[in-house]
Structure 1
Amino acid sequence: MRFLFLFFIVCPAIEIGIFLLSGKLIGIFPTVLLMILTGAIGAIVAKKQGVEVYYRVQRELQYGKMPGEAILDGLCIFIGGLLLMLPGFLSDLAGACLLIPFTRSWCKPLLFKWLRGMSKNKRIIIK
């Protein structure tokens, strides 16, 4: 419940405050242009990396290996692309962290731990 409160109330309020500050510092037009630019770049990068992960999953399946790491990469890329397409500087920062392979390697263990916890609580079933 706390997570939903943060996600739906606190994060948008912070984003609005950053928008107002950015509009005051660099102007309205550059702020809007920056939001459009980060959304477009996010979509392009997510698509490129998503295709690479898709082929990596196929390769690993052909060799009889479980593509667990590649699937986690794909999930991070998907979430990162969505966050970059949302308007906001904090969501852009979080999305960029999930799209950059170096920082994504820090986020994947947290995502794996969260998915493992959901599996143990029988919220999702991993076979």
Structure 2
Amino acid sequence: MPIFPILAFLFLAVPLLEIFLFIQVGGWIGVWPTIGLVILTAIAGAFLLRWQGLATLSRVRRALDQGQIPALEMLEGVLLVFGGALLLTPGFFTDAIGFACLLPLTRHLMARWLFIKGVFVARGPRPGGPQGPAGPGESGPRPRGGRTLEGEYRKDDP
């Protein structure tokens, strides 16, 4: 399915929907409370983004320490950035989607749905790639579970 028509529709529909919502909410509560509400949601979103961003980063580090690929956590990080950008955009519709991306339950559900639909696929490192089977400075893949033994070696040439 071509992406351009979808993006063109969204670039037209979302601003029109935001204008409509501004007019409706402004008519119900007034101009200044509407502006205050938009500013309040931006401030609340910034605090929520920081809090959830640090929690997601902690989960990424924990998964890496256990030798696992933090694919779901990384996708949640992308959703956090997307949600934060939407909260900086003035409007009620974008704020609703932005908060959905920042709240842990809905963000986790969105990330799992994206994986199930195959939008994002978790893949491990490719053996023999530009850095070989392991990362730079490593001699092999990180063991799962066990202990890491450190030591020195030397090669004796005959």
Pairwise TM-score range, normalised by the shorter structure: 0.7 to 0.9
Give the share of equivalent positions with the same residue, in percent.
Answer: 35
Contact 2:52 2:104 in 1 (8 A): no
Structure 1 residue runs of 4+, over 6 Å off? none
Name the residue aligned to 1:31: 34
Q: Does 1:115 align with 2:120?
A: yes
> Could you say what secondary structure the match of 1:114 adopts?
coil
Name the residue aligned to 2:46: 43
Name the residue aligned to 1:2: 5
**Which aligned pairs between 1:69-84 and structure 2 lie closer than 5 A?**
69-84=72-87
Letter in 1 for 2:35: V
Distance in 1 between the 2:23 and 2:77 partners?
Answer: 34
Contact 2:59 2:73 in 1 (8 A): yes
> Could you say what secondary structure the match of 1:87 adopts?
coil
Distance in 2 between the 1:24 and 1:126 partners?
Answer: 53
Name the residue aligned to 2:17: 14
Distance in 2 between the 1:105 and 1:55 partners?
Answer: 15
> Could you say what secondary structure the match of 1:65 adopts?
coil
Letter in 2 for 1:17: F
Structure 1 vs Structure 2 CA RMSD: 1.9
Q: TM-score, normalised by structure 1?
A: 0.85
Instruction: Select between 103-112 and 77-86 the one with higher mean Cα deviation.
Output: 103-112
Distance in 2 between the 1:126 and 1:16 partners?
Answer: 44
Contact 2:83 2:100 in 1 (8 A): yes
Instruction: Select between 79-88 and 102-111 the one with higher mean Cα deviation.
Output: 102-111
Distance in 2 between the 1:52 and 1:43 partners?
Answer: 14
Shift of 1:126: 7.9
Q: Structure 1, residues 59-90: CA drift from partner, whole Å, max 9, x if none? A: 21112111111111111111111111211111
Q: Does 1:89 align with 2:92?
A: yes
